[in-house]
């Protein structure tokens, strides 16, 4: 199984500041023949299901604010929120869909400082 | 608008069974694979099972293999999870999720809570 490890486990950032969450996979999730990373980021607010923010490591879903961006390839990935807003308080998960079983990071809890 | 509505959760004793359902709408159900993912409160997300569009390809997490059975009824736009021989460690919110291309889980239901306790 591919193990997904996020850092940090929790993060407190001031409003308007940058938030950065890292995700490392135990094996590459890059499908080299099509040059795509099978890596997604989700946002989960209390009492709600996960919401897909970014797929293929860096493709923002329709309607997701452009302050959210994803980067990385192979085994190392980053989710960046360029200017934190109050509504961004949530738990963020990375997720690999490269192989079965699909696996998730342990989550990063993002709060306002 | 894509909607996924789970039902069937509840409190059940260890060793007993429960059947979850997921009613889908807002998309062509039989065009897509579907998955079940669970979340232990306060802990993380665990993928449970998946089924392709015509039920020919089914996979399970090792933790539920032999106890859980995933199925679908495309005529009813519904997904199911039959859970047998339940254990306390199966206690979780269970989400059904629609898979876009290549297994990406692009839409999730609100979840249904399963509590396994005596």
- Which one of A97, A98, A105 would you mutate to disrupt binding with B, by most B Cβ within 10 Å of its Cβ? A97
A51 touches chain B (CB under 8 A): yes
Candidates A113, A108, A112; CA nearest to A10 is A108
Cα angle at B75 between B72 and B80, to 5 degrees? 20
* CB interface of A with B, residues 10-39, below 8 Å: 38
Dihedral angle sign, alpha carbons of residues B54, B25, B99, B111: negative
- pLDDT tens digits for range A12-62: 999 999 999 999 999 999 999 999 999 999 999 999 999 999 999 999 999
Q: Which residues of B touch A105 (CB under 8 A)?
A: 44
| Ramachandran class of B90: left when φ > 0, alpha when ψ lies in -120 to 50, beta otherwise | alpha
Going by pLDDT thresholds of 50, 70 and 90, the confidence category of residue B101 is confident
pLDDT digits (tens, 9 = 90+) for A50-94: 999 999 999 999 999 999 999 999 999 999 999 999 999 999 999
Q: What is the pLDDT of residues B32-75, one digit of tens each?
A: 999 999 999 888 999 999 999 999 999 999 999 999 999 999 99
Residue with token string 């990406």: B104
Per-residue model confidence (pLDDT) at position B74? 98
């Amino acid at each position: 199984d591919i193990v997904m490890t996020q850092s940090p486990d929790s993060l407190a950032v001031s409003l308007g500041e940058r938030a950065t969450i890292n995700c490392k996979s135990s094996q590459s999730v890059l499908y080299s023949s099509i040059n795509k990373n099978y890596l997604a980021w989700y946002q989960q607010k209390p009492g709600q299901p996960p919401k897909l923010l970014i797929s293929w490591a860096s493709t923002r879903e329709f309607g997701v604010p452009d302050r959210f961006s994803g980067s990385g390839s192979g085994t190392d990935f980053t989710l960046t929120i360029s200017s934190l807003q109050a509504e961004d308080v949530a738990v963020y998960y990375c997720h690999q869909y490269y192989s079965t079983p699909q696996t998730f990071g342990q989550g990063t809890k993002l709060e306002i400082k | 608008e894509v909607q996924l509505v789970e039902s069937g959760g509840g409190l059940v004793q260890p060793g007993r069974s429960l059947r979850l359902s997921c009613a889908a709408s807002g998309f062509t159900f039989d065009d897509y694979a579907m998955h079940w993912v669970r979340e232990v409160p306060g802990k993380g997300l665990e993928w449970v099972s998946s089924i392709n569009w015509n039920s020919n390809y089914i996979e399970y997490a090792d933790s539920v293999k032999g106890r859980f059975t995933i199925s679908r009824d495309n005529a009813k736009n519904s997904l199911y999870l039959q859970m047998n021989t339940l254990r306390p460690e199966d206690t979780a919110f269970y989400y059904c999720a629609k898979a876009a291309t290549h297994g990406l889980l692009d839409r999730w239901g609100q979840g249904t809570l399963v509590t396994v306790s005596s």
